[in-house]
Amino acid sequence: QPIPLVQLLSISRSIHSMTLNIRRRGRLSVVDIEGLASASVHQHLDQIGVGRYQGLLLIAIGLSSMAESIEMGAVCPINAALVRELGLSDNVRDLLPGVCFLGSAIGLVLAGPLSRLLGRKGVVVLSLIAVATNMLVTSVLTTGTNVLVVLLVRFASGVAGALQIPAGHALAVESCDGNTRGRLMFGIMFFGSVGYLVEAVGMKAYMPQFGNDQADDWRGFCCFISMFSVLALPLVVLLVESPCFLAVCGDTASCVQALNYMASMNGKLTIPTATLHVPDPTVKPSMWIFTPKAIMIEMGGHSWI
């Protein structure tokens, strides 16, 4: 039976509306990720407000960002020291900066999938451990080290530092109320900027000749860099996973526990589990936006297929 023209126009308007205003429909989300439910995670975060937990969040993610800035700011001096100390060729010297920044680019790409797999907090913890380990490994490289190992270590340095940038920012903005997110991100970026100043002070103390002199203590400078990741790690462990991420994953119990942990630190009332509703999925989630079910939902549930 042919579809009436009026219904076709309604279908066209619905599809056009979808293309202009696509909402993310997360798997097992708290009704809707954008906070359309009366008891959404974002509304609970607004009720929790700003307090000691957000202060801990600022310091933990800020120190993580500082550790990344110090590491990446020292790329060229560390590479120069490695070339001089290990007797690397000119070709390898030319490759080292590109390998480091290629690793950083790949780390940014991997941060998204890993944040989905391990959670935002898990990726930040992984990044800090990887940065500290990589710097310590770099500090023990010797003249007998294979060139490929040196390149691999420097590549891993870029990957390790970049992982925590998107994950840390996502964890921060998903763990505070809407009015605080801008100020919190400003504070985190300020910590990152201070990291370059700290790196310059460390450079003056350990490598005043930027790695080009025998007296430069580049091994000690690598340990100095790793110290900031070690310092940030226990603070990040004290944080909880993003409640928005837990809600999207359907882990209602952990979501409520995370919100209650924040509320208790801020001196606010805890949240009963019954106030959060996570609907059970009726079909396997799809990565595609324009599925028949999605179009039916946009049209108010009227089937036209």
Tens-digit pLDDT profile for residues 11-55: 444 544 554 454 444 444 443 433 433 347 878 888 888 889 999
Q: What is the mean pLDDT of residues 240-244?
A: 91
Give exposure, 41-69, as e/b (b: 16+ Cβ within 10 Å): bbbbbeebbebebbebbbbbbbbbbbbbb
- Angle, helix 75-86 to helix 52-73, in steps of 10 degrees: 40
Q: Say how far residue 271 (Cα) sits from the centre of its chain.
A: 27
For residues 173 and 88, what is the distance between their CA atoms, to the nearest angstrom? 44
Tens-digit pLDDT profile for residues 38-97? 347 878 888 888 889 999 999 999 999 999 999 998 898 999 999 988 888 888 888 999
Tell me the whole-structure pTM to 2 decimals: 0.75
Residue 200's nearest CA partner among 70, 37, 76 is: 70
pLDDT band at 275 (very low <50, low <70, confident <90, very high): low
Of the candidates 289, 245, 22, the residue with the CA atom closest to the CA atom of residue 117:
245
Crossing angle for the helix pair 90-118 and 120-139, nearest 10 degrees? 150
Q: How confident is the model at residue 271 (pLDDT cuts 50, 70, 90)?
A: low
Q: How far is CA 176 from CA 45, 52, 88, 231, 256, in A?
A: 6, 11, 48, 23, 15
